[in-house]
Structure 1
Amino acid sequence: MRSVKLAFYARLALILHALALILLCMYLGKTILIPLFFALLISFLLYPLALLMETKLKFPRPLASILSVLTFVISVGLLIFIISRQMVHLSKDLPLLQSRITGTLAELKDWVGDRYHLNDAQQMEYINKSVNGMMGGLANSIGTTFVGALESVVLFLFFLIFIYFILDHRRLLMNFVMALVNREHRLKVQEVVVSVRSLINRYIIGLLSEMLILFVLILVALLIFGIKYAVLIAVVAAVLNIIPYLGIYTAMAFSMLITYAGGSGSQAITIAIVMIVAHFIDANIILPRIVGGQVKINPLVTIVAVLTGHLVWGIPGMFLFIPLTAIIRIISEKVDELKPWAILISTDEQEL
Structure 2
Amino acid sequence: MEFKITHFMNSVKLAFYARLALILHALVLVLILMHFGKTIIIPLFFALLISFALLPVSRQLENWGLHRGFASAVSVLLFVLVISGFVYLLSHQVVSFTHHLPELQIKFTAMLQEISSWVFNTYHVDYQQQIAYLKRSAGSLEDTAFTSLGATFISVGEVLILTIFFLIFTFFMLYHRRLFKRFILALFPHDQLHKVEDVISSAKSMINRYIIGLLTEMAILIVLLVSTFAILGIKYALLISVIAAVLNVIPYLGIYTAMAISMVITLADGTPTHALTVAIVFIVAHFLDANILLPRIVGGNVKLNPLITIIAVLTGKLIWGIPGMFLFIPLTAIIRIISEKVEGLQPWAILMGEDKEK
Same structural fold, with TM-score higher than 0.5 when normalized by the shorter chain: yes
Q: CA deviation at 1:116?
A: 4.5
Q: CA deviation at 1:137?
A: 1.9
Q: Which structure 1 residue ranges, 5 or more long, are not aligned?
A: none
| Aligned equivalent of 1:11 | 19
Q: CA deviation at 1:219?
A: 1.7
Match of 2:46 among 24, 38, 57: 38
Aligned partner letter, 1:180: L
Q: Compare 235-244 and 33-42 and name the one that shifted more.
A: 235-244
Q: CA deviation at 1:70?
A: 0.5
| Aligned equivalent of 1:26 | 34
Aligned partner letter, 1:18: A
Match status 1:97 vs 2:104: yes
| Aligned equivalent of 1:268 | 275
Q: How many residues were matched structurally?
A: 350
Q: Compare 102-111 and 156-165 and name the one that shifted more.
A: 102-111
Q: Distance in 2 between the 1:94 and 1:311 partners?
A: 33
Match of 1:328 among 332, 335, 338: 335
Match status 1:52 vs 2:66: no
| Aligned equivalent of 1:223 | 230
Q: 1:129 to 1:65 in 2, by over 3 A?
A: same
Aligned partner letter, 1:106: Q
Q: Compare 151-160 and 91-100 and name the one that shifted more.
A: 91-100
- Measured against aligned partners, the alpha-carbon deviations of 1:252-275 in whole angstroms (never above 9, x if no partner) come to 112111212211111111111111
Q: Distance in 1 between the 2:136 and 2:31 partners?
A: 42
Q: 1:184 to 1:135 in 2, by over 3 A?
A: same
| Map 1:73-84 → 2, pairs under 5 A | 73-84=80-91
| Map 1:194-273 → 2, pairs under 5 A | 194-273=201-280
Q: CA deviation at 1:247?
A: 1.7
Q: Compare 58-67 and 259-268 and name the one that shifted more.
A: 259-268
| Aligned equivalent of 2:295 | 288
| Map 1:121-160 → 2, pairs under 5 A | 121-160=128-167
Match of 1:317 among 298, 318, 324: 324
Q: CA deviation at 1:139?
A: 2.0
Q: CA RMSD in A?
A: 1.8
Q: Compare 308-317 and 203-212 and name the one that shifted more.
A: 308-317
Q: CA deviation at 1:109?
A: 3.6
Match of 2:307 among 300, 310, 314: 300
Aligned partner letter, 1:344: L
Report the TM-score when normalising by structure 1. Answer: 0.94
Q: Compare 324-333 and 95-104 and name the one that shifted more.
A: 95-104
Q: CA deviation at 1:146?
A: 1.1
Q: CA deviation at 1:348?
A: 5.0
Match status 1:190 vs 2:197: yes
Which 4+ residue blocks in structure 1 deviate beyond 6 angstroms? none
Aligned partner letter, 1:151: E
Q: CA deviation at 1:196?
A: 1.1
Aligned partner letter, 1:286: L
Q: Which structure 2 residue ranges, 5 or more long, are not aligned?
A: 1-5
The sequence identity of aligned pairs, in percent, is: 57
Asked if the contact 2:58/2:72 (under 8 Å) is kept, the reply is: yes
Asked if the contact 2:62/2:68 (under 8 Å) is kept, the reply is: yes
Q: Distance in 2 between the 1:104 and 1:306 partners?
A: 34
SS for the counterpart of 1:262 is: coil
Q: 1:123 to 1:11 in 2, by over 3 A?
A: closer
- Measured against aligned partners, the alpha-carbon deviations of 1:98-147 in whole angstroms (never above 9, x if no partner) come to 22223323333444444455554443322221111111122221111111
Match of 2:115 among 98, 108, 112: 108
Asked if the contact 1:243/1:315 (under 8 Å) is kept, the reply is: no
Q: Distance in 2 between the 1:222 and 1:312 partners?
A: 36
Report the TM-score when normalising by structure 2. Answer: 0.93
Q: Distance in 1 between the 2:264 and 2:17 partners?
A: 54
SS for the counterpart of 1:347 is: coil
